[in-house]
Structure 1
């Protein structure tokens, strides 16, 4: 699916056609464009948002962004994408649905949202949209996720999106609650 957005929310420039992954009543999940790099750098630099996730230096964030844009060329249906407010195109955060760097046989769902969007139901809406997209559009059989043991809010989001906890996994250098959701048998 492609979409033409006339103005970038933070810059007065025209955007070209971009690949939309999913859309809900409030969210647009789409591939990043080269012009979006600063959005991801600012998100990664906000220490309030990295309490439960791997912290990156600015150089690491730039590399992740460059790799993300390059990975779009593979057209696997998986990746790292931007989350935008459908009403005003405000940058909400970033999400992934991709092979886990800790278990290359599993597809991992993850997300990080700007603080002003916490507690608004956006994370649940996003997780449900990515589960639907992954299981139905991409044809995945299973999607997994991990959370920090203290991140009760994300654990609730995963439960609302249909994930069930299946023990623990040693990812990101520690033992974490491990969740899975699978496609229903026919």
Structure 2
């Protein structure tokens, strides 16, 4: 399993060690505004996500990383490389979720840039996509900062979404 590094973050594969901080983040209604239909995630769903993530790391060689701030070791969010809608036949997707303590500090862009480089340089993905709730201006801003282009709308993970795409250079 691959650990990635940026100027301010260590991206480590999600494991049980990250569960408690994930639980706090996923139960925050503000964090979940555009996810899970705006509802805090039940404890069991977070536990299942940790297990699913470990299985995908074993099967695919990539999945979700914990975003650990280098200066104090705090988990400020999560970010991923996975297949859209969890379907191996779909394009590679990048995504992120930040705890409120990580909002507005550029961590999503920093982590996403590292994951895009990994997707293209190591995984050899032909493209990456990202999806977000149409009202999630912060995530859409990250997508455009990465150079992703708007592709339209669709339903992903059971939610109306905007879809952005970045082809491999």
Same fold (TM > 0.5) = yes
Query: Which is greater in Rg?
Result: 1
- Unmatched 5+ stretches in structure 2: none
Cα root mean square deviation, aligned: 1.6
Offset, 1:61: 1.1
Match of 2:64 in 1: 80
Q: 2:118 aligns with which of 111, 123, 133?
A: 133
Match of 1:182 in 2: 167
Cα deviation, 1:116-162, whole Å, max 9, x if unaligned, reads: 21111111111111111111121111110111111111111111112
Offset, 1:34: 2.4
Match of 1:99 in 2: 83
Match of 1:16 in 2: none
Moved over 4 A (4+): none
Q: 1:41 aligns with which of 23, 41, 60?
A: 23
In the superposition, the TM-score normalised over structure 2's length comes to 0.89
Aligned residues: 165
3-state SS in 2 of match to 1:132: helix
Q: Which has the higher helix share?
A: 2
3-state SS in 1 of match to 2:3: strand
Larger relative contact order, structure 1 or 2 (CA cutoff 8 Å, min sep 6): 2
- Unmatched 5+ stretches in structure 1: 1-18
Offset, 1:109: 1.1
In the superposition, the TM-score normalised over structure 1's length comes to 0.82
